[in-house]
Every structure is written in C-alpha cells, then in structure tokens.
Amino acid sequence: MSTHAPAHGPAHDVLIVGGGLVGASLAIALDAQGLDVGLVEAAPAGALPPVFDQRNLSFAEATLNALQALGVLPLLRAPTGPIRRIHVSRSGDFGRIRLDAGTYGRAEFGRVVVARDFGEALEARLAQLRHLTRYRPARFVGLEEGDAGLRHVRIADAAGERVLRAKLLVAADGARSTVREALGIGADEHDYGQTLFVARLRTQRAPEGTAYERLTDHGPTALLPRGDGHYGLVHGVPRDEAEAVAALDDAAFLARVQDAFGWRAGRFLAVGPRSAYPMQRAIADALVAPRAVLVGNAAQAIHPLGAQGFNLGLRDALTLAECIAAQPADPGAEAVLRTHAARRAEDRRRTVAFSDGLARLTANDAPLLRPLRSAGLVAGDAMGWLQGWLVGGAMGYRGDVPALCRRVAA
C-alpha cells in the first residue's frame, strides 16, 4: 500500500471518493479481487474521519457476517453489545412491539459498536491491503472530459491539483455528495425538523441485551445496549428547541430524557458528552451514471429510526463488489452498473420506505392516527408473520442480499 501515486500514474480500476464507513468497506472488499483501487480521503494519515466519533452503530446480523468475512470484526478492540431483544413503544399510544431473538432461534439480532472503535478497526484493515493507493488528505474538485473507457477525476491535495483516471468512479462521500452533484444526479431531500442528540448513558439497570425505541410527537428516544455496560442514547428534539437542549446541564438533560423515555431501564444516572445531528433525508434520483456509481449516504441518506443507514450502505458496497467480480476486466462497464442498480432496487426501496414512513407516522400527532398506530403496535406484538417481516429487516435480510452477508460469522 502506498500513500500517494505519481501525479500522472496509471489509471485505477476503481476510484472511491470518501473514506468513511462504506467507502473503506468497499475498498477492503475489492482488494480481495486483486483490483487496483484508489481511495480519496479528506482525513489526513493518522486521523479518522469525523463520522468515527462516539455515536453508536447498530450492526445487523447480516452486517456482522460480512464484516467478519472482510476481516474487520476481529480487529475491534472495545467490547460490543449484543441486541437480544427489541422493545418499541410510543408515548400516548397503547400497545408495544417486543421482539426476542430466541424466538427465532438466534442468540441475537445484531450488535452495537462504537463508531470510533469501528473506524480504528477499518483503518487497521486498510493498512493490510496490497492493492490500495490512498490519497489523503485530499478532496474531490470535479470531473474532466475523459478518454474512452475512463473517468477523469480532479482532486486537490497538499501538492496541488491532479487528475486521476479510473474505469469506475464510486461516490461514497456522504449525503451532501459533491461527486453526485458533479455527475448531474439530483436528490429528493426532506428536512424532518429534528435534531438528534447522541451520548453514552448510565442507568440504574444494566442493558442486558435490550434495545429500546420510544417514539414521541417530536422524535425518537432510543437506548442501545453497549458492550461496556452503558446504553448508547439517541434523543430526538424539535429543531427549534435544539439550541436550548444543548445548553442544558447534565442533570437537566437527564431529567428531560427520563421524562421522554420513562422508567423501563430504571433511573438515568449519568450522561457523557453530547453530540447533535440535524435529521435530513436525501435520496438520489439514480444510482448510476456512465462509469460512476453512488453508494451509502451518497445514494440514500435516511432517518436513523430503525438503525438501517450503515447496514443499507454496506449492502450497496458488497453488491457492487459482487457485480464487479462477475466482470473484473471492466468494473465500469454498463452491464456491471445496470446489474448493480437492478439488484439494489428492492432493498433500497423497502428500507427507505420503512425508515421514512416510520419517522413521519410516529411523529404525526393527529388524533385520528393514534388508534391506528396503537392497533399497529398491538398487531406487531401479536402477529407472527408481521414480526417475522420486522425481524428479517432488523437482521439485514431484505431483498437481494450479498453473499458475504449470508455467511455465518465465526
């Protein structure tokens, strides 16, 4: 692995813009195929991208299977938290949904991983790759007219600007993707009017494998069982209240969250540093362009309700890797991209609809919706077929699932 390629070096098979969760995972998957891959990263060597902070990632079973096969999971250093049970309720509505992995012959639905630890594991795995060239710190500047069969991509780094060439350009540069914009692909955007506060939470009762989702008119409050005996807290507030909530001291913040969540986990005792994230959706109008493809948040940035964002993005990356493996001589061939887009269609459509529909429905305080939501919660708790559908999505088995996701983790 080299840090920089010559200014006018040979073309890469694949050039990935964005070194976050999905871009790094794709680079690892493609290295196993022996492809020449370039990775354009904003963060300098020795630093992690901002996405690898103290937020908590909920990895579905399918995601864990894939990360095990990619050699990333064994490199995690901090303990992970098993999700054995899921409990969903809504303030003001009766009924709740309770899912237990044991009912489906599983030890767990997935695991909770701290983003920073995951970033460090990815970084350690990237350092082992043999066919990867990393451009860092560097940023995407734009596209230039290319040769037949190649994309010409202009980047800027400490040495100035240079043009890289690739048979396939992959946009993995997040919800505000500059690559997507340069390709002329629009996006359907929606602002949920919510801000999510994320922190580590210590409670009177240990997590013991239960993930809670408490829904309100103003957004969700979720507790995810971490491996260190704490919960990962996600607390949604109306956007116009976010500044005031950020200014609360720890005691007042804990009281607010306790009031929103209730007492299922006992008394809330302490909270760590808080981070805030505005919630917006951006769904790209297309997944592919000539010799280019969007993955992860560049393709679809969705509401975190249901914890499907990274799981969906990883399936993007692994499906693309499978499509390329079937035609490795030309990763950017039209047939490769057409197959990828077709394979991703159902999973993407269903996951986006589930996340967006749940976010809108649960935050709507219209009185006529309350009995309908309550009936839905009761049905979700009692009807086996509906629970099975929810469990399949929660574990990452929706639509055309990549082969690595179906492997049993060692």
305 pLDDT tier (thresholds 50, 70, 90): low
Contact of 147 with 18, CB cutoff 8 Å = no
Other beta carbons less than 10 A from residue 270's beta carbon: 13
If you average pLDDT over every residue of the chain, what do you get? 86
Contact of 188 with 205, CB cutoff 8 Å = no
Instruction: Say which range, 136-150, 177-191, 237-251, has the weakest mean pLDDT.
Output: 136-150
Contact of 289 with 299, CB cutoff 8 Å = no
Dihedral (CA of 379, 385, 386, 388) sign: positive
Looking at residue 73, what is its pLDDT?
96
Domains of the chain and any CATH numbers:
12-58+65-78+113-188+281-367 (3.50.50.60)
Residue 369 pLDDT > 70: no
Average pLDDT over residues 98-118: 89
Looking at residue 307, what is its pLDDT?
60
Looking at residue 96, what is its pLDDT?
66
**Which two tokens mark 83?**
């999700």
Looking at residue 90, what is its pLDDT?
74
Cis omega (within 30 of 0) on the bond before 290? no
Looking at residue 303, what is its pLDDT?
76
pTM for the structure as a whole:
0.88
Residue spans of alpha helices (H) in 188-333: 242-246, 250-261, 309-325
392 pLDDT tier (thresholds 50, 70, 90): low
Q: Kindly give, in sequence order, each residue whose CB lies less than 8 Å from that of residue 387, ignoring residues fewer than 6 positions away.
A: 97, 99, 103, 380, 381
Note the pLDDT tens digit of each residue in 53-83.
888 899 999 999 999 999 999 999 999 999 9
159 pLDDT tier (thresholds 50, 70, 90): confident
> What is the Cα 169 distance to its own chain's centre?
20
Q: In the chain, what percentage of residues exceed pLDDT 90? A: 63
Contact of 187 with 285, CB cutoff 8 Å = yes
Average pLDDT over residues 192-203: 92
Other beta carbons less than 10 A from residue 355's beta carbon: 22
Residue 225 pLDDT > 60: yes
- Tell me which residue of 295, 337, 329, 294 sits closest to 13, measured CA to CA: 329
Q: Rounded to whole angstroms, what are the CA distances from 194 to 24, 284, 303?
A: 29, 21, 10
257 pLDDT tier (thresholds 50, 70, 90): very high
Residue 212 pLDDT > 80: yes
Contact of 190 with 303, CB cutoff 8 Å = no
Cα 260 from Cα 248, distance rounded (Å)? 15
Give, as one character, the DSSP assignment of residue 2.
Answer: B
Of 336 and 385, more confident: 336
Looking at residue 87, what is its pLDDT?
86
Q: Rounded to whole angstroms, what are the CA distances from 268 to 98, 114, 171, 289, 350?
A: 22, 20, 41, 49, 35
- Tell me which residue of 218, 196, 194 sits closest to 364, measured CA to CA: 218
Looking at residue 118, what is its pLDDT?
95
Residue 43 pLDDT > 80: yes
Quick one: angle between helices 384-394 and 334-363, nearest 10?
120
Looking at residue 104, what is its pLDDT?
81
Cα 337 from Cα 255, distance rounded (Å)? 51
Cα dihedral 147→150→151→154 (10° resolution): -70
Looking at residue 382, what is its pLDDT?
40
